[in-house]
């Protein structure tokens, strides 16, 4: 629980004929974090770009299929795919299928666009006829004007002024009739002899003519009836296309999803293949595997290759193994949601302590102590339940936050019991420990006491990390190492003696001086201990100045780190103060509905804003005061080769 999962480096040597099967088996088990090609030494020379090319080909196919799904409004879903993956040969068959589907969708889309255009055309005509309706002129007469050339159509609205500017050689008249989706419907006239000039000008202004079929005749009113009829039949066609689309969706859904799944599987395998080294006909698959899963992997590979394999397991021996060992955290389900708070800071190094459990316990306790209120806590826990158990489907991704809120809410409720506070009301239940407002000093001292405990955990974790990475001797004279810890305890001893009213014993002062000197001389002493030379880098005065400031900074940080925890108590007091303000405001309104409203809104604000601030403060205490002691977070996360969520 307190350390990352132990890893082994596994090298699998297989023949060319078996490599794809093995890759699939490895990906299916999902326990191997592949080594970077650059770490394969001479084996990397055989890595070809052929597989990288296949990866990009599959990526393109995936994009195309997703585009098809989007066009058809088909949501993605996880499915199992049938048959074994064959990334070297699947591409062609998949391409054929995709092209077939693309052609079908393209045809449908083309028809939809055409019908939409037709609807727009008839609607524009109808509106134009409505304008001509009062004239009672026969449309056929307008068509057969002897001396006048008339054109009706729509142009982009932005082109109208330029069109008029372009017609500088002929007399003309352009009547804008109405605007419609960024276009303007115009009636343009000129003398018949200038018809060619007007037509070419209109065309170059991107005119879309409102042409009337020859069979349309009669007055504008009669034509309007005919046009309306055409518009209605175009709408019917659009409805038919909508049904056709639904049929296509129903037919293609079961076809497209398996295609997508297969593409993703093939891409994953091709990606893996691009990481394998090879020399001649032998491939090397190298990576990190959790030690307790190596045997399972070995058996699977031997079965897959029928024994044609060399399987080597190399334990991690040195911190500088040929590649950085990835970190796999394995915490109990109770602490797993907290992992996200740890990885937000950084992934623990393979040889670092996994701080998840420490953070899990201290975070929840500190949050509760700062936000101690039974009512508010239970509300928070309830919100947590909603998020954690997917009560609202749209918030499914916030499950981890939900679990954290449940824990923090329960902790707040427990502290609410200890403080005797329910929704800010201090007189409903008795305080099992103390009331923050009435006993501030005790609360602040208890907070600092808690901080001392947390910081000691930090010191212990620092020493454990040093021991795990084989650098224990380097930690002896560190400000957060053994000497630092002893100095911290000694200083606490001084505080305790003074607080109890007694004098500070001389031996304690001597110990403090001795430890301070040791910390002052940390660098040369560490070099001596590590048998490094030279013992002193640079000149002695330089070292003295640097050592002085480091010692000073260490002493300051012990004090500031410890006193930082005063905020646990301070926020508990602030919480009571805030709720008092809410009730004061309600009292000023003299009761009634308004007062109830103020109490409700006030409590919501406290839960929302104060809850957020307390959460941030708690995280600050964890990251700066605790993690700063021992945690670097420079590890790389364990990312095993896996197939997408499906079974192939």
Partner 1 sequence: MAIGLDAVRYSAANARVKGLASQLLSDETWQALTSAEDLGIALSILRGTVYADVAADVEAGGAITLEDLERRLDARAAQNVRRTMTFVSGAQRDLLQVWWQHFELENLKALFRGFDQGMSPDAIRRFLIPMGQTSRLPWEVLLHIQSVPGLVDRLSGTHYGQPLRNALPAYNRERSLFAIEIALDIRYYRDLAAAINALGGADFDDARRIIGTRLDILNILWAYRHRVYYNLSAEEIVNYTLWHTFRTDTNLIRDIALGAPPEDILERVWGRGSVDLSLLERATDEASMVTNLELTLERFWWGLARSAMGGYPFRLGALLGYLVLQETEIADLVTLLEAKAMRWDRERVCRHLVRCEE
Query: By the 8 A CB rule, do 406 and 388 touch?
Result: yes
Q: Which of 14, 167, 234, 626 binds partner 1 (CB under 8 A)?
A: 167
Q: Which of 168, 317, 393, 539 binds partner 1 (CB under 8 A)?
A: 168
Q: Which of residues 517-556 bind partner 1 (CB under 8 A)?
A: none
- Dihedrals phi, psi of 290, to nearest 5 degrees: -55, 135
Q: Which of 2, 30, 53, 63 binds partner 1 (CB under 8 A)?
A: 63
Q: Which stretch binds partner 1 (CB under 8 A): 137-145, 165-173, 297-305, 497-505?
A: 165-173
Report in angstroms how near the CB of residue 396 gets to partner 1 at its nearest.
28
- Dihedrals phi, psi of 350, to nearest 5 degrees: -55, -35
Binding to partner 1 by residue 123, rule CB under 8 A? Answer: no
Report in angstroms how near the CB of residue 466 gets to partner 1 at its nearest.
42
d(CA 220, CA 210): 14
Report in angstroms how near the CB of residue 57 gets to partner 1 at its nearest.
9
d(CA 392, CA 275): 41
Identify which of residues 166 and 642 has a Cβ nearer to partner 1 in the complex.
166
Q: Which of 49, 75, 146, 169 binds partner 1 (CB under 8 A)?
A: 169
Whether the bond into 204 is cis, omega within 30 of 0: no
Task: Provide DSSP, 225-256.
Answer: HHHHHHHHHHHHHHHHHHHHHHHHHHHHHHHH
Identify which of residues 110 and 251 has a Cβ nearer to partner 1 in the complex.
110
Q: Which of residues 193-222 bind partner 1 (CB under 8 A)?
A: 197, 200-201, 203-206, 208
Q: Hey, which residues does 184 pair with through a beta bridge? A: 155, 179
Q: Output the CA–CA distances (angstroms, integers) from residue 250 to 61, 62, 112, 150, 243, in the order listed.
A: 21, 20, 18, 49, 11
d(CA 266, CA 97): 15
Report in angstroms how near the CB of residue 154 gets to partner 1 at its nearest.
10
Binding to partner 1 by residue 166, rule CB under 8 A? Answer: yes
Task: Kindly determine how many residues on this chain lie close enough to bind partner 1 according to the rule CB under 8 A.
Answer: 30
Which value, to the nearest 10 degrees, does the dihedral of the CA atoms of residues 398, 401, 406, 412 take? Answer: -140
Q: Which of 39, 109, 300, 345 binds partner 1 (CB under 8 A)?
A: 109
Query: By the 8 A CB rule, do 572 and 614 touch?
Result: no
Report in angstroms how near the CB of residue 196 gets to partner 1 at its nearest.
8
Identify which of residues 198 and 607 has a Cβ nearer to partner 1 in the complex.
198
- Dihedrals phi, psi of 450, to nearest 5 degrees: -65, -40
Report in angstroms how near the CB of residue 188 gets to partner 1 at its nearest.
12
Identify which of residues 201 and 328 has a Cβ nearer to partner 1 in the complex.
201
**Max CA separation in the chain (angstroms):** 124
Report in angstroms how near the CB of residue 212 gets to partner 1 at its nearest.
16
Q: Which of 110, 179, 251, 279 binds partner 1 (CB under 8 A)?
A: 110
Identify which of residues 113 and 396 has a Cβ nearer to partner 1 in the complex.
113
Q: Hey, which residues does 149 pair with through a beta bridge? A: 190
d(CA 134, CA 398): 63
Query: By the 8 A CB rule, do 326 and 349 touch?
Result: no
Query: By the 8 A CB rule, do 26 and 297 touch?
Result: yes
Identify which of residues 204 and 560 has a Cβ nearer to partner 1 in the complex.
204
Identify which of residues 207 and 417 has a Cβ nearer to partner 1 in the complex.
207
Beta-carbon contacts of 641 under 8 Å, excluding residues fewer than 6 positions away, are 23, 26, 27, 30, 32, 33, 34, 268, 272, 287
Buried b (16+ CB within 10 A) or exposed e, 529-554: eeeeeeeeeeeeeebeeebeeebeeb
Identify which of residues 40 and 101 has a Cβ nearer to partner 1 in the complex.
101
Report in angstroms how near the CB of residue 270 gets to partner 1 at its nearest.
16
Report in angstroms how near the CB of residue 273 gets to partner 1 at its nearest.
21
Binding to partner 1 by residue 244, rule CB under 8 A? Answer: no
Report in angstroms how near the CB of residue 626 gets to partner 1 at its nearest.
38
Identify which of residues 200 and 639 has a Cβ nearer to partner 1 in the complex.
200
d(CA 366, CA 446): 12
Report in angstroms how near the CB of residue 128 gets to partner 1 at its nearest.
17
Report in angstroms how near the CB of residue 159 gets to partner 1 at its nearest.
7
Site pattern 22..61 for partner 1 (x: CB under 8 A): --------------------------------------x-
Identify which of residues 67 and 296 has a Cβ nearer to partner 1 in the complex.
67
- 3-state SS string over 81-137? CCCCCCCCCHHHHHHHHHHHHHHHHHHHHHHHHHHHHHHHHHHHHHHHHHHHHHHCC
Q: Which of 1, 53, 80, 113 binds partner 1 (CB under 8 A)?
A: 113
Q: Which of residues 125-164 bind partner 1 (CB under 8 A)?
A: 156, 159, 161-163
Q: Hey, which residues does 64 pair with through a beta bridge? A: none
Binding to partner 1 by residue 165, rule CB under 8 A? Answer: yes
Identify which of residues 61 and 362 has a Cβ nearer to partner 1 in the complex.
61
Identify which of residues 41 and 209 has a Cβ nearer to partner 1 in the complex.
209
Report in angstroms how near the CB of residue 155 gets to partner 1 at its nearest.
8
Identify which of residues 7 and 185 has a Cβ nearer to partner 1 in the complex.
185
Identify which of residues 172 and 638 has a Cβ nearer to partner 1 in the complex.
172
Report in angstroms how near the CB of residue 73 gets to partner 1 at its nearest.
15
Report in angstroms how near the CB of residue 342 gets to partner 1 at its nearest.
31
Query: By the 8 A CB rule, do 230 and 115 touch?
Result: no
The tokens describing 99, both together, are: 């092209």
Identify which of residues 99 and 438 has a Cβ nearer to partner 1 in the complex.
99
Beta-carbon contacts of 410 under 8 Å, excluding residues fewer than 6 positions away, are 364, 368, 377, 381
Q: Which of residues 66-105 bind partner 1 (CB under 8 A)?
A: 67, 99, 102
Triad 209, 213, 214: Cα angle to 5°: 125
Binding site for partner 1 (CB under 8 A): 60, 63-64, 67, 99, 102, 106, 109-110, 113, 156, 159, 161-163, 165-169, 182-183, 197, 200-201, 203-206, 208
């Amino acid at each position: 629980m307190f350390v990352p999962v132990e890893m082994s480096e596994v090298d699998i040597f297989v023949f060319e004929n078996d490599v794809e099967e093995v890759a699939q088996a490895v990906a299916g088990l999902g326990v191997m974090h592949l080594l970077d090609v650059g770490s394969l030494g001479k084996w990397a020379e055989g890595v070809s770009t052929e597989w990288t090319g296949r990866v990009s080909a599959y990526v393109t196919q995936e994009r195309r299929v997703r585009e098809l799904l989007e066009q058809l409004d088909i949501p993605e879903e996880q499915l199992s795919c049938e048959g074994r993956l064959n990334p070297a040969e699947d591409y062609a068959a998949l391409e054929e299928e995709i092209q077939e589907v693309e052609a079908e969708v393209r045809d449908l889309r083309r028809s939809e666009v055409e019908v939409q255009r037709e609807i727009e055309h008839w609607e524009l005509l109808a509106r134009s006829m409505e304008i001509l309706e009062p004239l009672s002129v026969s449309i056929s007469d307008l068509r057969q004007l002897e001396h006048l050339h008339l054109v009706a159509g729509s142009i982009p609205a932005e082109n109208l002024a330029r069109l008029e500017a372009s017609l500088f050689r002929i007399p003309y008249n352009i009547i804008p009739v109405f605007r419609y989706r960024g276009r303007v419907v115009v009636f343009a006239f000129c003398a018949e002899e200038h018809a060619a000039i007007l037509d070419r000008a209109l065309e170059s202004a991107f005119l879309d003519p409102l042409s009337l079929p020859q069979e349309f005749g009669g007055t504008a009113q009669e034509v309007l009836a005919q046009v309306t009829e055409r518009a209605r039949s175009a709408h019917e066609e659009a409805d038919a296309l909508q049904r056709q689309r639904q049929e296509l969706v129903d037919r293609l859904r079961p076809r497209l999803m398996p295609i997508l799944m297969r593409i993703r599987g093939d891409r994953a395998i091709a990606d893996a293949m691009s990481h394998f080294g090879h020399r001649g006909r032998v491939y090397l698959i190298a990576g990190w595997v959790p030690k307790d899963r190596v045997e399972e992997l070995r058996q699977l590979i031997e079965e897959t290759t029928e024994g044609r394999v060399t399987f080597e397991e190399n334990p991690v021996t040195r911190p500088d193994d040929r590649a950085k060992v990835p970190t796999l955290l394995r915490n109990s389900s109770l602490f797993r949601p907290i992992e996200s708070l740890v990885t937000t800071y950084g992934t623990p190094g393979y040889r670092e302590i996994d701080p998840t459990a420490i953070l899990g316990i201290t975070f929840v306790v500190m949050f509760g102590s700062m936000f101690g209120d039974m009512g508010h806590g239970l509300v928070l826990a309830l919100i947590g339940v909603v998020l954690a158990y997917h009560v609202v489907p749209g918030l499914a991704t916030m499950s981890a936050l939900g679990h954290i809120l449940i824990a923090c809410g329960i902790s707040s409720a427990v502290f609410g019991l200890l403080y005797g506070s329910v929704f800010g009301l201090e007189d409903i239940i008795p305080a099992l420990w103390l009331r923050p407002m009435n006993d501030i000093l005790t609360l602040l001292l208890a907070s600092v006491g808690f901080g001392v405990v947390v910081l000691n955990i930090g010191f212990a974790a620092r020493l454990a990390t040093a021991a795990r990475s084989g650098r224990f001797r380097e930690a002896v004279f560190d400000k957060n190492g053994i000497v630092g810890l002893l100095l911290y305890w000694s200083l606490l001893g001084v505080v305790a003696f003074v607080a109890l009213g007694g004098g500070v014993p001389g031996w304690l002062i001597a110990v403090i001086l001795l430890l301070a000197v040791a910390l002052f001389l940390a660098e040369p002493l560490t070099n001596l201990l590590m048998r490094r030379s030279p013992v002193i880098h640079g000149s002695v005065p330089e070292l003295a100045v640097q050592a002085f400031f480091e010692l000073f900074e260490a002493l300051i940080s012990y004090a500031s780190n410890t006193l930082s925890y005063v905020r646990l108590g301070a926020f508990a007091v602030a919480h009571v103060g805030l709720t008092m303000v809410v009730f004061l405001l309600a009292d000023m309104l003299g009761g009634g509905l308004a007062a109830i409203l103020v109490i409700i809104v006030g409590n919501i604000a406290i839960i929302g804003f104060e809850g957020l601030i307390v959460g941030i403060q708690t995280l600050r205490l964890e990251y700066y005061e605790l993690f700063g002691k021992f945690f670097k977070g420079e590890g790389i996360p364990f990312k095993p080769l896996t197939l997408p969520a499906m079974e192939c």
